Amino acid sequence: MKYVETVSSFAGKYFVFFVIGASILAFLVPEPFLPINSYVPILLGIIMFGMGMTIKPVDFKMVAKHPLPVMLGLIAQFTIMPLTAFAIAFSLNLPAELAAGLVLLGSVPGGTSSNVMVYLAKGDLPLSITMTSISTLVAPVATPAILYVLANQWMPVQFWDMFTMIVQVIIIPVALGVTIKRFLPIIARQTEKAMPLVSVLAVLAILSAVVAANNETLASTGPAAFIAVMLHNASGLALGYGAAAAFRLTPSQRRAVSIEIGMQNTGLGATLATAHLSPLAAIPSVIGAAWHNFTGTIMATYWSRKQLNKKDESVKKSA
């Protein structure tokens, strides 16, 4: 088991490079990865099961004790990201399927890898975990509703079908993970050690499958999609930090909110796009998987080298 922990740590540390490598390989040699598409929802469920095992009831006490950072992050998550996606799609005059896919990327909850980046950035990790958990639980209603309002002009959005799928691949696995953690702690402790590696492999499998299925369209639409995703991600990081600063959150909380909003659940975005929109609509989420982790790593490295003002942190948190 010690070996598994070591491999899991290595995979998590260099995740962005594995994402880029797997995407390039699937793009150049798509055939071996195509059969994986049939298992994408199951793979996403495995990822969310792992997330559920990291959630503790104490995490949600933050909402009662310090509601402002959590509620600010939640509101920003489902306003800044979808609205900036909508604006970018219009500004760049993206094709309908890419435009809908970009809005979908902006409408999904925060990604689990954001928690790792916040930890490395010396940000407020409990806040990050709480934001990820709550945005994920809100996603079955928020994601399809936002997508219906903003993207239905480009592609038909089936609210209830998408709602049902999110419950199946997100809420049920997360609930199962929480239940096992609560009632079978010994099994949970053993499983947790392997889950980072399993989650990394599942994410790589999902991305490889989607890239393989869309390698030709990715080649023709890639530049516009890349620019859109980069602008979207930069907007989330900057506006998230700005919103946190405007409400005078602590520096560590600003880092958490910025990264949490800027990094989306790209696996869910790719899965929903493939199942309910079109394979081409999954492209922004595929690109986002690599780019979000790339910029997240850069921000985490930069902030990890900047010392936090301990006095400022303690004064604001006690206020």
> What's the pLDDT band for 275 if we cut at 50, 70, 90?
confident
The structure tokens listed for 315 are 């004064």
pTM over the 0.75 mark: yes
Query: In this predicted structure, what is the pLDDT of residue 14?
Result: 66
The pLDDT of residue 59 is above 80 = no
Look at 193 and 102; give whichever has higher pLDDT.
Answer: 102
The pLDDT of residue 156 is above 80 = yes
Distance, CA of 184 to chain centre: 28
The pLDDT of residue 318 is above 50 = no
The pLDDT of residue 195 is above 90 = no
- Distance of alpha carbon 280 from alpha carbon 262, whole angstroms: 22
Look at 178 and 193; give whichever has higher pLDDT.
Answer: 178
> What percent of the chain stands above pLDDT 90?
20
Q: Which amino acid is at 50?
A: G
* 249-276 average pLDDT score: 88
Of the listed ranges 111-115, 300-304, 315-319, the least confidently predicted one is: 315-319
* 150-154 average pLDDT score: 88
Triad 223, 82, 110: Cα angle to 5°: 95
CB 97, CB 278: distance < 8 Å: yes
> What's the pLDDT band for 142 if we cut at 50, 70, 90?
very high
Per residue in 39-48, pLDDT (tens digit) is 878 887 887 7
CATH class of 37-313: mainly alpha
The pLDDT of residue 238 is above 90 = yes
Q: Quote the mean pLDDT of the chain.
A: 81
Q: Which residues of 123-147 are buried (b: 16+ CB within 10 A; e: fewer)?
A: bbbbbbbbbbbbbbbebbebbbbbb
The pLDDT of residue 57 is above 70 = no
Per residue in 92-123, pLDDT (tens digit) is 998 899 999 999 999 998 877 787 778 778 88
> What percent of the chain stands above pLDDT 70?
86
Tell me which residue has tokens 């986002």.
Answer: 288
CB 177, CB 48: distance < 8 Å: yes
The pLDDT of residue 4 is above 50 = no
Task: Please state the domain extents for the chain.
Answer: 37-313
DSSP 29: S
Query: Which residues sit opposite 264 in a β-bridge?
Result: 110
Tell me which residue has tokens 């009831």.
Answer: 57
DSSP 214: T
Query: In this predicted structure, what is the pLDDT of residue 129?
Result: 81
Count CB-CB contacts under 10 A for residue 38: 9
- Distance of alpha carbon 273 from alpha carbon 96, whole angstroms: 13
Query: In this predicted structure, what is the pLDDT of residue 215?
Result: 78
- Spatial neighbors of 269 by CB under 8 A, at least 6 apart, are 101, 104, 105, 108, 282, 284, 285, 288
Task: Please return the burial class of 3, using the count of CB atoms within 10 Å of its CB with bins 0-12, 13-18 and 19+.
Answer: exposed
> What's the pLDDT band for 58 if we cut at 50, 70, 90?
low
Give the closest residue to 110 by CA, choosing from 244, 265, 224.
265
Output the DSSP codes for 41-110.
HHHHHHHHHHHHTT--GGGGHHHHHSHHHHHHHHHHHTTHHHHHHHHHHHHTT--HHHHHHHHHHHHS-B
Query: In this predicted structure, what is the pLDDT of residue 12?
Result: 56
> What's the pLDDT band for 3 if we cut at 50, 70, 90?
very low
Query: In this predicted structure, what is the pLDDT of residue 27?
Result: 84
